[in-house]
Structure 1
Amino acid sequence: MRLDPTRVLVTGGAGFIGSTLCDRLLRDGCQVVCADNFSTGREANIAHLRAAPGFQLITADVVEPLEIPGPIHEIFHLASPASPVDYQRLPLETLRVGSAGTDHVLALARAKNARFLLASTSEVYGDPLEHPQPESYLGNVNTVGPRSVYDEAKRYAEALTVAYHRAYGTDVAIARIFNTFGPRMRLDDGRVVPSFIAQALAGRPFSINGTGKQTRSLCYVDDMVDALLSLMRSPHRGPVNLGSTDEMAVLDIAGLIADQTGNPLRFVYAPLGQDDPEKRRPDTRLAHRLLGWSPAVGIPEGLARTINWFRTDLGSFR
């Protein structure tokens, strides 16, 4: 049994999930090394942690080999652009962080004898023909479409993670993260929740791509962090779907945000983006069976918390 504090590396630790995870790890008594190149993460997300005991920030791009003195017991590999706005702006960087970046972080995990958790994505399923999506579903992915740089980077990262385990015995886990939302998202992130909140707070109509009848299942960030910790501290490799099974049409998400902000429910329509999934909902029975995990925060409560955060901190977190 280890007596010294668990020392944890979080790559992409200045992102909205990563920084929330850093908060939780510190509260749990861990020492935290946060690595980020701030291409999409923000210093404001971790500014309150800079002076916290046990917290260390490393400004680094994992596309280059990563050297960290001292022990590392656990690695959460979250580094990657994750929204369409970001990975279409940074296509080559997204592919490199999924390939070379994942390789470098896995090599560090091997050298440190650390457990490695890959933050993969529901995007590995593409625009799914099977609904809901179980971990056994192999996907419907366009390898040359506008979303392919992210989809294929994560699919390669999964293959590389499993290869390290098979070749070297590296202790690994793969989390397939479905739509997650909450405080510290950027308003210009391009995903549905921050986009709708930004429009509502500005008194603008909601922008709807396609008919708005396409569905999303939204998981609040605190629940996702609980799930990631549960998987890390379990013996399971996965992949394991992590997300909410509460599926809502995009139009209904806009309606909830309109009700909670007092913004009139008005719409402006645009064509649906190429390969934008019509349906997205995880089959989470494996997570429930292996981890005993299911989300605790419903969509209305999570949206209320997120809207309140944006209202309070909007000036500091643009």
Structure 2
Amino acid sequence: MKKRILITGGAGFLGSHLCDRFIAEGYHVIAMDNLITGDLKNIEHLFKLEHFEFYHHDVTKFIHVPGELDYILHFASPASPIDYLKIPIQTLKVGAMGTHNCLGLAKAKSARILVASTSEVYGDPLVHPQTEEYWGNVNPVGPRGVYDEAKRYMESITMAYHTFHGVDTRIIRIFNTYGPRMRLNDGRALPAFIGQALRGEDMTVFGDGSQTRSFCYVSDLVEGIYRLLLSDYSLPVNIGNPDEISLKDFAEEVLQLTGGKVNIIYKPLPADDPKQRKPDITKARNILGWAPLIGRKEGLAKTYDYFKTLSSEEWSKQPKEFQSRK
């Protein structure tokens, strides 16, 4: 019999790619999503498959999945500044109550669970690059606190279930990721920059553009998730691409890629915006044998090609002002 895996947030950007990967690996995949930020078009190509199911459900409510479960991937959560500033309570609830429900399900089914944490647990870091041993510099009452603290709580309750109940757990800390199926209007730097360039609008950079990010292509991230799930390591592991770049230089790269003739304009830096992001991936290399394979030039080209296929109606949904700060 095929192994059965539940993927929460399965209609989202990352969740849909994970559904594809585990279908390709021969699993029976159950995707769950309340579609607040997910989109069925990301997984509609899977609906015809015998070994794919979709549950339209909010994980902050009791989760019932009939039959056995071998694995759970908990990826349900808003993941961009625009989202979690617009729906802060839901963001907190999915990190707290949603994680609690998923862990309870894992305990009941004797399933291994991997939870999706984030580099945001490091806040505006005082250590660079960020190692898993760094505890972070987070403002719990700032505008980003609803996301940062939800993920920090997620890690805490996951480890509590691991140590107290013996649940088989994994924790991944995801750094900035990009690729096809990113939402156009989620406010993150890459879709914001490409959207503005294609529409002939000036490209918005917050602050002086010296703040850095490290962008990992989605197929590399999915490979890291797959390896971590099947490993025997229960402490947090960074998965990201350590090729660090300033947002000003990143905007210039996007301009060169799109052939845009627009200007780069600068706006005030939002509160608590991290000044640096770069993962230390020593653990991923040593424990998982993982390292990213797709360089930023190749990944950007693939992502740009995807955005060019979208309809004018989808482009019209883009907000005029981007908060491209994550």
TM-score (norm 1): 0.97
Hey, what's the Cα distance between the residues in 1 that align with 2:129 and 2:141? Answer: 24
Question: C-alpha separation between the residues in 1 aligned to 2:229 and 2:268?
Answer: 40
- Give 1:253's aligned residue: 250
SS at match of 1:175: strand
Partner of 2:318: none
The answer (yes or no) to whether the contact 1:81–1:94 under 8 Å persists in 2 is: yes
Select 1:75's aligned residue among 69, 72, 79: 72
Shift of 1:44: 1.2
Q: Is the contact between residue 201 and residue 262 of structure 2 (CA under 8 Å) also seen in structure 1?
A: no
Aligned to 2:53: 56
Partner of 2:219: 222
Matches of 2:80 and 2:98 in 1, distance apart? 18
How big is the shift at 1:269?
Answer: 1.3
Q: 2: CA distance between counterparts of 1:158 and 1:247?
A: 25
Residue equivalent to 1:306? 303
| Offset of residue 265 of structure 1 | 4.9
In structure 2, C-alpha distance between the alignment counterparts of 1:280 and 1:264, rounded to whole Å: 29
Q: CA RMSD in A?
A: 1.0
Match in the other structure for 1:279:
276
Aligned residue pairs total: 315
Which residue of 2 is the match for residue 177 of structure 1? 174
CA contact (8 A) 1:254 1:265 kept: no
String of CA shifts for 1:25-58, please: whole Å, max 9, x gaps: 1111111000000011111111111112211000
Q: Does the residue aligned with 1:237 lie in a helix, a strand or coil?
A: coil
Counterpart contact for 2:4–2:29, Cα < 8 Å: yes
Contact in 1 for aligned 2:203/2:265 (Cα 8 Å): yes
* Pairing partner for 1:197 from 179, 194, 197: 194
SS where residue 195 of structure 1 aligns? helix
TM-score by length of 2: 0.95
SS in 2 for 1:61: coil
Which among 259, 263, 266 is matched to residue 260 of structure 2?
263
Aligned mate of 1:236, from 218, 233, 236: 233
- Distance (Å, rounded) in 1 between the aligned partners of 2:300 and 2:33: 27
The CA distance in 1 between the partners of 2:77 and 2:130, in whole Å, is 23
Instruction: State the shift of 1:264 in Å.
Output: 1.8
Task: Please list every run of 5 or more consecutive structure 1 residues that lacks an aligned counterpart in the other structure.
Answer: none
Q: Determine which of 292, 295, 300 is the counterpart of 1:295.
A: 292
CA contact (8 A) 1:243 1:284 kept: yes
Partner of 1:101: 98
Structure 2: distance between partners of 1:181 and 1:238: 25
Distance of 2:35 and 2:238 partners within structure 1: 27
Among the aligned pairs, what percent are the same residue? 51
Assess, with a 3 A threshold, how the Cα gap between structure 1 residues 14 and 317 changes in structure 2: closer, same or farther: farther
